[in-house]
Amino acid sequence: MKSLLLNLNYVYAVLVTLFVTASLDAADPLPSWNETGTKRAIIGFVERVTDRQSSDYVKPEARIATFDNDGTLWSEQPYYFQIAFAFDRVKAMASKHPEWSKKQPFKGVLEGDLKAVMAGGKESLLKLIATTHSGMTSEEFEQEVTDWISKAKHPKTGRLYKEMVFQPMLELLTYLRANGFKTYIVSGGGIEFMRPWTEAVYGIPPEQVVGSRIKTQYEIRDGQPVIVSLPEVNFIDDKEGKPIGIHYHIGRRPIFAAGNSDGDWQMLQYTTIGRSPSFGLIVHHTDAEREWAYDRNSHIGQLDKALADAPQQGWTVIDMKKDWIRIYPEK
């Protein structure tokens, strides 16, 4: 009898432990984040701005959070994933453009010479995007992107590109929305490239995506009104373009902004300087084993000025290696 009671007490203790652990896990809004100062700072800010008794309380309509995409919500090495899409488009279109075999950056793409493609800098990459994204209606382009994002895989990880999103940032987006924030993407990436898949992947609908744009025009094709892309860049949503894009599309200054590079420096300034309460967040890629480690000298996602300014401006810097339990969602 005594032995039975001891066993029952043991089982009871185990069940209590499991219940308490499950309750704690359920209460943790950021389970893929280690218990570091970064996590505490984020949660502390959200609690202050949502507490009606706090002097930092912010009404729900003003709880605007903006996120860069490349390098902030998903990986971006060895080149922006939209560039991978553009490369595939060049190869698919090459038979109709024999001149590309002698013309950079198209020649580099067709020969697999990434160094030659990147040698032209941002202007060369924008030329690739504008050329490969043009001529189609918005519906045709959306279908092209939807098909590509559903099957294209990263050359190093073998994962679908859409699976290379950061699990901790997915949790952060969900946590903010659960606390009355409206979450936006404000990215240097193309708005037409992101809109077809951001709602399914991030929970961010197309009307809450701000990005770079190529020119478009209205036409009637086969009796139907359509929007057609042109081979010209209209607006670059990067650096000082980000506050302009926020003002133009959103009409409110954010109180929370997250980025990972100097391309996000102005957005972080616009969000935090002279604003209280406000929160600036920088994703610092420090994990060469699970992802990549890079900052000041990187050809993609260079992080120099923003990293240097972070302590003075009070911006919180995520150390991926120390702050995140895991990088990508479990398959």
- Residue 69 in any domain: the answer is yes
Contact indicator for 291, 285 with CB cutoff of 8 Å: yes
- Residue 230 in any domain: the answer is yes
Which two tokens mark 296?
A: 């000041």
Domain extent for 188: 31-77+165-323
Point out the least confidently predicted range of 62-76, 118-132, 205-219, 245-259: 118-132
Instruction: Please tell me the predicted confidence (pLDDT) of residue 2.
Output: 43
* Stretch 251-261: mean pLDDT: 98
**Considering its fold, how many domains does the chain have in total?**
1
- Residue 42 in any domain: the answer is yes
Instruction: Please tell me the predicted confidence (pLDDT) of residue 118.
Output: 82
Q: Which of 145, 104, 138, 144 is nearest to 121 (CA)?
A: 104
- Residue 59 in any domain: the answer is yes
Q: Is the pLDDT of residue 21 over 70?
A: no
- Residue 131 in any domain: the answer is no
Distance CA 122, CA 107 (A): 17
Per the prediction, the chain carries an average pLDDT of 91
3-state secondary structure of 160: strand
211 Cβ contact list (under 8 Å, min separation 6): 69, 185, 186, 187, 188, 189, 190, 191, 192, 193, 194, 237, 245
* 268-321 pLDDT tens trace: 999 999 999 999 999 999 999 999 999 999 989 999 999 999 999 999 999 999
* Stretch 17-32: mean pLDDT: 62
Q: Is the pLDDT of residue 9 over 50?
A: no
Q: Is the pLDDT of residue 68 over 50?
A: yes
Burial readout 134-148 (b: 16 or more C-beta within 10 A, e: otherwise) = bebbeeebbebbeeb
- Residue 319 in any domain: the answer is yes
The CATH number of residue 48's host domain is 3.40.50.1000
Q: Which of 290, 276, 273, 301 is nearest to 325 (CA)?
A: 290
Q: Is the pLDDT of residue 13 over 60?
A: no
Contact indicator for 262, 303 with CB cutoff of 8 Å: yes
Amino acid at position 88, single letter: D
- Residue 35 in any domain: the answer is yes
Question: Among residues of the chain, what percentage have pLDDT more than 70?
Answer: 92
- Residue 64 in any domain: the answer is yes
Taking the CB of residue 150, how many other CB atoms lie within 10 A of it? 12
Which pTM was predicted? Answer: 0.90
Q: Cis omega (within 30 of 0) on the bond before 105?
A: yes
Instruction: Please tell me the predicted confidence (pLDDT) of residue 56.
Output: 98
Q: Is the pLDDT of residue 122 over 80?
A: no
Instruction: Please tell me the predicted confidence (pLDDT) of residue 26.
Output: 55
Q: Which of 288, 289, 290 is nearest to 298 (CA)?
A: 288
Instruction: Please tell me the predicted confidence (pLDDT) of residue 125.
Output: 81
* Stretch 18-47: mean pLDDT: 81
Distance CA 184, CA 140 (A): 25
Distance CA 73, CA 329 (A): 12
Instruction: Please tell me the predicted confidence (pLDDT) of residue 187.
Output: 97
Q: Distances from the Cα of 210 to the Cαs of 3, 65, 87, 234, 309, in angstroms? A: 66, 12, 23, 13, 25
